[in-house]
Amino acid sequence: MNSVFLISDNVITSLGFTTRENAAKMREKCSGVMLSEDSFISPIPFYASLVNTPLLEEAFGSLNAQAEYTRLEKMLITSISEALRSANVDPSSDTTLFIISTAKGNIDLLEERLKGRFPKERLKAAVMAKVVSSFFKNPNPPLVVSNACISGSVSLLLGKRLLEGGRYKNIVVAGGDVISEFTVSGFQSFKAIGSGPCRPYDEARDGISLGEGAATVILSVVPGPKGAIALKGGAVTNDANHISGPSRTGEGLFLAINGALNDASLAPEEIDYISGHGTATNYNDEMESKAIHSARLEQVPMNSLKGYIGHTLGAAGIAESVMATYSMKHDILFATAGFSKMGVTQPVNVLSDNLEKKVKKVLKTAAGFGGCNAALIFEKQ
Amino acid sequence: MTTGAFILQNKLEKYIVFKFFIMEELVNQLKVQIIKALKLEDVKPEDINPNAPLFGDGLGLDSIDALELIVLLEKEYGLRVENAASAKKIFSSVKSMADYIAEHKKA
Amino acid sequence: MSSKGYIQSYSIIKNNRVVLNGEEFFAGGAEDDFATFIRALYKKLEITHSSFYKMDDMCKLGLLATELVLKDAAIREKYSDTEIGVVLSNSSSSLETDTAYYETVKDRNNYFPSPAVFVYTLPNIVIGEICIRNKIKGENTFFIFEEYNPEFMTDYVNNLFVSGKLKSCVTGWVEYYEGHYEAFVYLAEATQGDNRCIHSAEQVRKIYSF
């Protein structure tokens, strides 16, 4: 079976509009999680990682769009455009498929201040996805994955499987979500938002920082000129325990990690870096560390990037995978912003500082509402 | 007993009885509100023992229900619960909720 | 192994009628609202699911449609929990509940965000409820399409069978939005047994004509 390669990518977050810009900020340990006092979004100030609006308008503006697009669509289109710039891929070909990952789509269109700006059907994710893929004149109806916080990881795995099926030459996998009154209030009602920038795996962690953004990976069966990182395998499972709290034992995520290792034909001892989910809730981080222990990976250096870019929901699995592949290409693992003291009962090897290390076989974990878990394995060829 | 003391004792008894009925009314009102807020459609107010634990077995309430009860207190009684620790105590039973409300609710 | 699986059982819930494997299982009053109809179906199935009334309408619909196709299938006797999966789809995601949730926040003078409603503002929660009830731990994903896409869905599930990821899968379409609801949920399996038909888009289109 042919391998599937990541031939190009892009990340748009509070830290910047390219993968490189994001990496540069992470190298400097510069977090994009700030206190926002946008009263349209929340009656009380809240910490979040917000994409810079004037810069977004500028970046999107340079694409000479002929119609009106929502904030999410602008982020997705800008991200995909940027990724296409360094890939020899024709987005308008029928051998190219788009997969869009999103938890809430254009949910901000429910807000009063946006009422009437767009047709109601733009609330529907498949309509939104088609608007995005049509921008690039792609003739295939895009696939849309909406599976909470694992959407991005699932989309990458879906792309791999479809490429292996042989019907497409290239797959553009793009994910995104926006910060909105809807999402912020919801997580506040859960008392899930931290009192400051989030602190993954830390003793003092007290909740998430939400983030917005978009990220793109272009997948191909042809490696591309610059050396190749392959998506070797993955797995998706369910805890079958509770719809919003993860299983206390971490069993579901452990099964996903195991499933991914089997899918990639790798043994646990071959993994040299883990890009964790690390949302900084009490339960997620505790569960995740248990799963990592069960998989005998507790010595492997790991981090969570959510302290830099927040939890970007539908973009998370893709954005964080892209940053993991950056680490693989540039031999640097980023510190876990917000982490200083181990705060999970089964300690794991969380990086509190940048680490220069050559890593070749990387595990990416994710978990989400609905009890779902996903694990991906990337390998440098 | 002097007439004065008798009148005072009578008033005190009436006051205690009055307070008891207020509390009973509050407990019944709370039961109805809880059933509605937590969508306990197959449960009737008379099924709920006001002194029994709300969480654990019994009504099978979970962490989301606890959060929803926090909203109920704020919405119906204007009372804010700041953290999980105090929440646990307040929501241990319908009676403890009623006690909390009686103690803190502004007139 | 054949490249296509087999459809074991299927249910259709639409217009206050419930069809199981081609035969009418239950009919509610034509004028009943959804809440009345689904409660009646729940009672008819004679099951107890402690969080049933807490679920939003889409989850009630999906859970009961699944209950119908699983009730005689004994999947947990045939397969382990990771060999069974759930792959569902719809057009409106969780928009119905999203709108209901937004009602709890949109008026700042009456601002009481409801966690019990918010938890259902994701389309894959119905998968979570199905997995919890039936102790299913295998591959699970929620897709959004403008219209039900049997070609993609059957291909995708069949590939999960061929690659050995799953042996059994609850799959289909669960849609609920603005007064319109529709569930087509079926159980597909990798191996032929006492099965009804091949798991293909053509077969799905044949049986899903209601």
pLDDT average per 10 residues of sequence, chain A (381 residues): 88 98 98 97 97 98 96 98 96 98 98 94 98 98 98 98 96 98 97 97 98 98 81 98 91 98 98 98 97 98 98 98 98 98 97 98 98 97 87
Residue A377 confidence (pLDDT) = 98
Q: Do B67 and A191 touch (CB under 8 A)?
A: yes
Strand partners, A210: A48, A311
Strand partners, C143: A145, C89
Residue C1 confidence (pLDDT) = 52
Whether the pLDDT of residue B106 is over 60: the answer is: no
SS3 content of chain B, % helix, strand, coil (to 5): 65, 0, 30
Q: Chain A, 178-217: which have a CB under 8 Å from a chain B CB? A: 189-191
Contacts of C112 in chain B (CB under 8 A): 71, 74-75
Select the residue of C51, C53, C114 nearest B68 (Cβ to Cβ): C114
C25/C71 Cα distance (integer angstroms)? 13
- The kind and range of the H/E element at A262 are helix A251-263
> Residue A134's Cα: distance from chain center in Å?
23
Q: Do C127 and A182 touch (CB under 8 A)?
A: no
Residue A223 confidence (pLDDT) = 83
Touching subunits of B (3+ CB pairs, under 8 Å) are A, C
Residue A195 confidence (pLDDT) = 96
Residue A358 confidence (pLDDT) = 97
B53/B49 Cα distance (integer angstroms)? 9
Residue A246 confidence (pLDDT) = 87
Query: CA separation (Å) from C208 to C22, C91, C183?
Result: 9, 17, 10
pTM over 0.90: yes
Q: Do C113 and A370 touch (CB under 8 A)?
A: no
How do residues C107-149 score in pLDDT, each as one tens digit? 999 999 999 999 999 999 999 999 999 999 999 999 999 999 9
Residue B10 confidence (pLDDT) = 85
Contacts of B65 in chain C (CB under 8 A): 116
CATH architecture of the domain with range B23-104? Orthogonal Bundle (1.10)
A32/A336 Cα distance (integer angstroms)? 13
Q: Do C115 and B40 touch (CB under 8 A)?
A: no
Assign B85 a pLDDT band (cuts: 50, 70, 90): confident
Query: CA separation (Å) from A177 to A6, A149, C92, C140?
Result: 22, 10, 17, 21
Do residues A271 and A297 lie in contact, with contact meaning Cβ atoms separated by under 8 Å? yes
Assign C86 a pLDDT band (cuts: 50, 70, 90): very high
The average pLDDT across B15-30 equals: 87
Give the closest-approach CA distance of B36 to chain C in angstroms: 10
Under 8 Å CB-to-CB from A153, ≥6 apart: which residues?
A234, A236, A317, A318, A321, A364, A366, A374, A375, A376
For chain B, what are the domain ranges?
Answer: 23-104
Do residues A100 and C118 lie in contact, with contact meaning Cβ atoms separated by under 8 Å? no
The closest alpha carbon to C157, from C145, C141, C144, belongs to C141
Residue A140 confidence (pLDDT) = 98
A197/A335 Cα distance (integer angstroms)? 15
According to CATH, the superfamily of the domain at C6-93+123-207 is Thiolase/Chalcone synthase (3.40.47.10)
Contacts of B39 in chain C (CB under 8 A): 53-54, 116
Assign C173 a pLDDT band (cuts: 50, 70, 90): very high
Least confident of B49-63, C12-26, C90-104: B49-63
Assign B18 a pLDDT band (cuts: 50, 70, 90): confident
Q: For chain A, which domains are there?
A: 5-220 (3.40.47.10), 231-380 (3.40.47.10)
Residue C162 confidence (pLDDT) = 96
As a whole number, the mean pLDDT across chain C is 95
The percent of residues in chain C predicted with pLDDT above 70, rounded, is 98
Contacts of A194 in chain B (CB under 8 A): none
